[in-house]
A = this chain, B = another copy of it.
């Protein structure tokens, strides 16, 4: 897989699920379609389940299914469920003794926070149901 694979995998999978919401899919099926490993799929989809976007069933004839209607799941929901920022925060670096560094961190951090909010707003406009039609 490639970079930012978690978000790609999640969106890709939900996009397909949106086309046939009743069907239950196994992590093996999903992994094969996505060209990755079933355990990786479970890791990523597990996050989405924690966020209430998916349900999973154990045991024979188990698998994964949407927890809501496709029109009720936005790209922002998925993004937030994975709690990974596309906007690199620079990490929670320890407060530096150097005043220049300190001022910089505050300035840059405030810009990035605004950008992050803006990103989420834009992602919230699109649902996974819209991913199937009009490219």
Given contacts A101-B12, A103-B132, A132-B103, contact A91 B122 (CB under 8 A): no
Give the contacts of A34-84 with B (CB-CB under 8 A): 75
Count identical subunits in the complex: 2
Bound-state Cα–Cα, A16 to B6, Å: 39
With A2-B91, A98-B12, A103-B15 as known contacts, state yes or no: A112 contacts B86, CB within 8 Å: yes
Interface size counted on chain A using CB atoms at 8 A: 40
Query: Cβ of A90: which chain B residues have Cβ within 8 Å of it?
Result: 2-4, 7-8
Residues of B within 8 A of A86 (CB): 87-88, 112
A100 in contact with B12 given A86-B88, A131-B107, A135-B106 (CB within 8 Å): yes
Interface pairs A-B: 6 shortest CB-CB = A15-B100, A103-B135, A86-B88, A4-B90, A111-B122, A115-B119
